[in-house]
């Protein structure tokens, strides 16, 4: 993606797309979901875009504070010298980073240098393997729509301070429901978040279930 427009990236089109650039940023995702990467020259990037390059496996051997795990993993440990794994750029992940002088950026996926299979602890590799198993059965995976959206519930009243009691003079609002009956009644209100998210059909199904639990 570049300047808000979809761009199909191929190995052949890379030189043209990056013709005005001198550097490229690459990053992979560690087990904590953090991006770990490096900035390399465009010349080097064009040379490794197809086959990938060596990336220290310690990315899966340390925590978010860059401290190695007390119990080291088989894939990354002092005994194997935190050996390199193969990082291959995902060309479809191309975008530019506006707050870093519009530098081109690509995500990478990690592969075992011996088997050429996705590294099991790599989040992107794990997802790829899971999708391939689903597709092998003639199925597909889909995400999106209301069921894939997280709805934030706004709590307007501020938290109570130390020593302040619920329902006291310093408590400006109503807190959580104190019973299933009260919770169900709130759930049924036209302005409830549950009704907005689930819709009337699902809402009333759950509401009726709640009423049966109360009875």
Full DSSP string of 135-202:
HHTT------SGGGSPPPPP--SPPPPTTPPTTSTT--S--S-SSHHHHHHHHHSTT-HHHHHHHHHH
pLDDT tens across 185-198, in order? 777 777 776 666 66
User: What sign does the CA torsion over 36, 7, 16, 124 have?
Assistant: positive
In the CATH scheme, what architecture does the domain 14-125 have?
Answer: Roll (3.10)
Residue 42: which pLDDT band, with cuts at 50, 70 and 90?
Answer: very high
Quick one: pLDDT at residue 86? 93
Find the length of the chain.
215
β-strand pairing of 103-111 with 23-29 = parallel
What residues contact residue 183 under an 8 Å CB cut-off, 6+ apart? Answer: 177, 210
Query: Which residues on neighbouring strands pair with residue 106, listed in sequence order?
Result: 26
What residues contact residue 60 under an 8 Å CB cut-off, 6+ apart? Answer: 30, 31, 73, 75, 76, 119, 121, 122
Quick one: pLDDT at residue 171? 65
CB 21 within 8 A of CB 2: no
Domain boundaries along the sequence of the chain:
14-125, 176-215
pLDDT tens across 102-149, in order? 999 999 999 988 888 888 888 888 888 888 888 888 887 766 544 455
What pTM does this model have? 0.60
pLDDT of residue 23 exceeding 70, the answer is yes
For the ranges 50-54, 126-130, 158-162, 169-173, the maximum mean pLDDT occurs at: 50-54
- Classify 15 as helix, strand or coil: helix
pLDDT tens across 58-113, in order? 888 888 887 877 777 777 777 777 788 999 999 999 999 999 999 999 999 999 88
């Amino acid at each position: 993606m570049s300047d808000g427009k979809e761009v199909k990236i191929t190995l052949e089109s890379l030189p043209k797309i990056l013709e005005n650039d001198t550097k490229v940023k690459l990053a992979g995702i560690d087990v904590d979901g953090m991006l770990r990467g490096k900035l390399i020259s465009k010349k080097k990037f064009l040379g490794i875009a197809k086959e990938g390059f060596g990336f220290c496996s310690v990315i899966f051997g340390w925590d978010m504070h860059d401290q190695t795990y007390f119990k080291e993993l088989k894939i990354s440990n002092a005994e194997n010298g935190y050996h390199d794994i193969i990082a291959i750029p995902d060309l479809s992940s191309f975008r530019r980073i506006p707050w870093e002088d519009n530098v081109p950026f690509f995500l990478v996926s990690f592969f075992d240098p011996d088997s050429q299979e996705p590294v099991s602890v790599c989040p992107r590799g794990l997802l790829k393997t899971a999708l391939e198993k689903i597709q092998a059965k003639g199925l597909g995976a889909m995400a999106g729509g209301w069921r894939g959206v997280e709805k934030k519930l706004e709590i307007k009243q501020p938290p109570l301070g130390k020593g302040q009691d619920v329902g006291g003079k310093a408590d400006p609002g109503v807190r959580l429901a104190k019973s299933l009956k009260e919770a169900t009644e709130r759930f049924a209100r036209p302005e409830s978040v549950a009704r907005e998210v689930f819709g009337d059909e699902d809402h009333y199904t759950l509401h009726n279930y709640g009423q049966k639990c109360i009875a």
